[in-house]
Amino acid sequence: MTANVPGEKRLATLHLSMSDATGDSAIVEYIDGKQTIHHDRKYQVMTNSPAFDQQLALDTYWKGIGGTVMLPGTNRAADRFARASFYINAIPQGESPDITVASVFSVIRNVSVPYGLTTPEEPNISSTRWRTVADQKRMILFLRVCGDTEYVLDELQGYRFLR
């Protein structure tokens, strides 16, 4: 259920994150060909590796240390997850919708792998190809494709979502 990383001869690893306007969330991943769903509104961030249960264990560890003391800074997915988890909970809450979107994008940029960076000895690390933020209250999807200089906004009111 995956394809090659664009321009490379290796398979991409990925998780799918879903949430709704109430804040309910789910992370879907495939481990050894079997679908696993992690469902809880507290699941706000994820990276493509390691398995999500391992990401949750890392989160517990780093919460014990505290993000203002130290955060891991490499481009490894586990380190990016630790930073994302800390920063998503540290940014201002309840600000204007535009400030909220900008704050979430700042977290995503902080944990993105720079475009064009490859680490052959660590095949799970690849460049961030795009960034998205879904404003589910205003029904707007913000998309930024790496390499493009502008954001794409898509108003979601016209879409029919199935239950």
Q: Write the pLDDT tens digit of every residue in 71-100.
A: 999 989 899 999 999 999 999 888 899 999
CB 55 within 8 A of CB 81: yes
- Express as a percent the part of the chain with pLDDT over 70: 85
Q: How many residues does the chain have?
A: 163
What CATH code is carried by the domain that includes residue 30? Answer: 3.60.60.10
Mean pLDDT, rounded, of the chain: 85
Which domain range does residue 99 map to?
Answer: 16-158
Question: Which residues lie closer than 8 Å to 26 by C-beta, 6 or more apart?
Answer: 17, 18, 19, 37, 38, 39, 43
On whether residue 98 sits in a domain, the answer given is yes
On whether residue 90 sits in a domain, the answer given is yes
Provide the pLDDT for residue 146: 82
What mean pLDDT do residues 6-17 have? 72
On whether residue 1 sits in a domain, the answer given is no
On whether residue 95 sits in a domain, the answer given is yes
- Closest by Cα among 102, 107, 112 to 48: 112
What mean pLDDT do residues 121-150 have? 83
* Half-sphere CA count of 93, side-chain side, radius 13 A: 4
On whether residue 4 sits in a domain, the answer given is no
- Closest by Cα among 160, 96, 106 to 133: 106
Distance CA 130, CA 90 (A): 23
Per-residue model confidence as pLDDT tens digits over 95-124:
899 999 999 999 999 999 888 887 778 766
Distance CA 104, CA 19 (A): 15
Provide the pLDDT for residue 123: 67
Structural domain count, the chain: 1
pTM of the model: 0.81
